[in-house]
Every structure is written in structure tokens, then in C-alpha cells.
Structure 1
Amino acid sequence: MSLAELIAEADERSLAASGLACLDRCLSLLIDETEVLRPLWAGIAAGEDGWAERLAAARTVLDEAPDTDETAAPVRKMIGAAPSEWAAGPLAEWATACSALALELHQELDPSGGKQGPLVAGEQRRQIQILEVLSATPDGAGLRRALDLSTEGQRVLRAALSRRARAAQGPS
């Protein structure tokens, strides 16, 4: 199944987790602190209960983060666009936008520069895996695996950022 089809068929929990996972992977463009979103991850299992409050808390922390560069601006926008309402429609729009933005950011950082480069392909594969895991485990058991996949993607993106920084510095 394609990424778009998986998003279209996902429930609220899977949509929230999918969008959050994309944000989680791209967060290193904005701040070094990776624990900011952990309360949101924990809250997804509870569903609607506490979602809006946890989201507001995460937004506050991220709004206070200093602007680093133009690459980080879309990440800030991504958390700002997260719906406080726990409903399939708004969550699907957000998850779709987060997916597209994450793929776009990975393409910008991909050393091959192409839409099918290894960094982009890995991000797309992770997004699909997360949605598949969540749809296969409707009781919330897949959230841990989704978080693990997101953490793996975070490490990959951090490595790409590190390579980019070294290349910008030139030979020593």
C-alpha cells in the first residue's frame, strides 16, 4: 500500500503518531533536545485525553527555541499546524503535511539531491513502516515500535546534518 493510502485509512491514533513521528525525526533541525515530544508520544496511547494540553506544552518549548537557520523554520511550522482537535479529518491533513515536509527536508539534505536518493527513500520507508505497524496493532502496542523507527530516522538525519556541516567547512 502506498503512503497516501495508508494515511487515508489510518485512525486518529495512527494519524497523530504518524505526524508526530515526522516531526520527531525533523526536530534536530530546530533544537538539540529530543525529549520535548515524549509527553505527546506517551499521550497518544490515551487518545483524545490530554492531547491538546500536551500539544500546547510542546509548542511552548519549541516556540522558545532560538531560530537556527531557514531549514528549521518548516519544523516550527509543523508543530504549529498540529490540530488540538482529536479528529480524523484535521489529523489526516496534518499527517499528510508532515509527511510531505519531512520528505522535502530529507530531499534537501540528501547528498544525491534527487527525489529518489537514499535519504529520501529511507524516510519514505520509515513513514510506511510506522503506519503499517500502527494499523496492525490497533490497541496501541505498536507505538513503541513507531517511536523506535522514528528514533532511528532521527539518527540518520543527524548524521546527514553532520556530513553537511563537515562538507561546508571544507578540508582541514
Structure 2
Amino acid sequence: MGLVELIAEADERSLAASGLACLDRCLPLLVDETDVLRPLWAGIADGEDGWVDRLETTRATLDGTPVADEAAAPVRKMIGAAPSDWATEPLAEWATACSALALELHQELDPSGGAEGPLVAGEQRRQIQILEVLSANPGGAGLRRALDLSVEGQRVLRAALSRRARAAQDSDDS
């Protein structure tokens, strides 16, 4: 099943986790501290009761964080756009937008520069894996695996950012 179909069939918890995981993987663009979204992950585990309060706390934390890179602004914007309503339609719209943003940012950072490059393919694969894990484990049981996949994606993005910085430094030195 493809990414669009998986999002269309997902429940609220899976949609919230999918959108958050996309942003979590892009977090290295925004902040050095990768645990800033952890309270929101816990809010997803609590369902509707934990989502709204933890969403507000996360937004407040990120609002106090300076944006060092222009590429980080859309990530912050998408966290700000997360719906307070724990309902399928707004969460599906948000998860779809987060998915598109994550794929776009990975494409911009992909050394091949194409939509079929290794960074983009890896990101799309992680998005599908996360939705599959969540749909196979309803009630929050798949959240730990989704978080693990997201952390793996953070490491990949950090490595890409590091390579890009080294290449820029090398070109400045020559």
C-alpha cells in the first residue's frame, strides 16, 4: 500500500504520530536538542487527553528557540500548524502536509538533487514503515517502533547535513 492510502486509512493516533515523526526526522534542521518533541510523543500515547496540553508546551518550547537556518522555518511552521482537535480530518491534513514537507526537505538535501535520490527514498520508506507499524499495532503499541524509525531518520539527516557542511567548507577553502 502506498503512502497516500496509508494516511487515508489511519486513525487519529497514527495520523498524529505520522505527522510528528516526519517533523521529528527534520528536527536537526531546527534545533540541536533532539528530545524537544518527546513530550508530544508521550501526548500521542495518551491520546486525545494528552495531545492538546503537550502540543502547547512543545510550541512554547520551540518558540523560544532561535532558527539558525532558513530551511528550519517550515519545520517550526508545521509544528505550529498541528491541530489541537484530535479528529481524523484535521490530523490527516496535517500528517499529509508534514509528509510532503519532509520529502521536500530531504530532496533539497539529497546529493543527487532528484526526487528519486537516496535521501528521499529513505524518507519515503520510513514514512510508509511508520504508518504500517502503527496500523498493525493499534492503541499505541507501535509508537515505540515509530519513534525508533524517526530517530534513525534523524541520524541520516544529521549525516547529510554534516556532509553538506564539509563540502561547503572544502569549497570555501579552495
In 1, Cα distance between equivalents of 2:80 and 2:37: 13
- Paired residue type of 2:135: S
Confirm whether residue 46 of structure 1 aligns to residue 46 of structure 2.
yes
SS state of the match for residue 114, structure 2? coil
Residue 170 (structure 2) aligns with = 170
Q: Which structure features the higher share of helix residues?
A: 2
Write the deviation string for residues 110-158 of structure 1: whole angstroms up to 9, x where unpaired: 0000000000000000000000000000121110000000000000000
Residue pair 2:42, 2:50 contacting (<8 A) in 1 also: no
> For the Cα contact (< 8 Å) 2:18–2:131, is it kept in 1?
yes
Q: Residue 107 of structure 1 aligns with which residue?
A: 107
| 1:88 and 2:91 correspond | no
- The residue number in structure 2 matching 1:98 is 98
Which residue of 2 is the match for residue 29 of structure 1?
29
* Conserved 8 A contact 2:45-2:143: yes
Q: How far has the Cα of 1:105 moved from its partner?
A: 0.1
Partner of residue 12, structure 1: 12
- Segments of structure 2 that go 5 or more residues without pairing to the other structure are none
Q: Secondary structure at the match of 2:112?
A: coil
Deviations 1:33-81 (A, max 9, x none): 1111111111212110021110011011111111212111111111011
- Asked if the contact 2:55–2:84 (Cα under 8 Å) also holds between the matched residues in 1, the reply is yes
Number of matched residues?
Answer: 172
Q: Distance in 1 between matches of 2:164 and 2:128?
A: 26
Counterpart CA distance in 2 for 1:140 and 1:61 is 25
2:126 alignment partner in structure 1: 126
TM-score by length of 1: 0.98
Q: Comparing 68-77 with 128-137, which one deviates more in the overlay?
A: 68-77
The 3-state SS of whatever aligns with 1:170 is helix
User: RMSD value over aligned CA atoms?
Assistant: 0.9
**2:68 counterpart of 1:63:** no
Gap regions ≥5 residues in structure 1: none
Q: Is the CA contact (8 Å cut-off) linking 2:7 and 2:96 kept in structure 1?
A: yes
Report sequence identity in percent: 83
What does residue 79 of structure 1 align with? Answer: 79
How big is each residue's C-alpha offset from its partner over 1:67-101, in whole Å with a ceiling of 9 and x where there is no partner?
Answer: 21211111111101100110000000000000000
